[in-house]
């Protein structure tokens, strides 16, 4: 089985390179690393959980596009929220982004590695090019 990497390693504002790639392609699937609500300079967006969720999904869309896929190809997501009190607002932003193409999902509450991050979304998608 071959594995190909999609995208390049993120670079933090301090210049450090993060040891991951945005996605990998293998066995007819695209495995997307956890997406945060950060802009292109890796700065968290303002606006709370809804804004960070919207941005995280936009970041997923960007990675999927690099692989020739889109949100409709997502089959499963795993979501981490830092505060269960944000669950309803997160759900509204998530549902708006995915529309009718809602994938299977697991959601857990835990701390995240980036201070101030409220949500992280990891995705697995069917590879339309397989």
Please write the tens of the pLDDT for every residue from 53-91. Answer: 999 999 999 999 999 999 999 999 999 999 999 999 999
> Domain span at residue 82?
24-126
In a domain, 55, yes or no: yes
Judged by DSSP in three states, 95 sits in: helix
CATH for 68 = 3.30.1330.40
In a domain, 45, yes or no: yes
Q: What is the largest CA-CA distance in the chain?
A: 42
Tens-of-pLDDT digits for all 130 residues of the chain?
A: 799 999 999 888 888 998 999 999 999 999 999 999 999 888 999 999 999 999 999 999 999 999 999 999 999 999 999 999 999 999 999 999 999 999 999 999 999 999 999 999 999 999 999 8
For the chain, how many structural domains are there in total? Answer: 1
In a domain, 11, yes or no: no
Phi-psi region of 76 (alpha: psi -120 to 50; beta: other; left: phi over 0): beta
């Amino acid at each position: 089985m071959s594995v190909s990497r999609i995208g390049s390693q993120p670079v933090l504002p301090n210049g450090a390179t993060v040891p991951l790639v945005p996605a990998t392609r293998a066995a007819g699937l695209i495995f997307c690393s956890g997406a945060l609500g950060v802009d292109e300079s890796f700065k968290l967006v303002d606006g709370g959980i809804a804004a960070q969720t919207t941005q995280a999904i936009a970041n997923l869309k960007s990675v999927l596009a690099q692989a020739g896929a889109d949100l409709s190809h997502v089959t499963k997501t795993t979501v981490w929220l830092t505060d269960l009190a944000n669950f309803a607002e997160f759900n509204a932003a998530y549902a708006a982004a995915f529309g009718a193409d809602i994938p299977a999902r697991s959601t857990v509450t835990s701390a995240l590695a980036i201070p101030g991050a409220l949500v992280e979304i990891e995705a697995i998608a069917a590879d339309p090019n397989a």
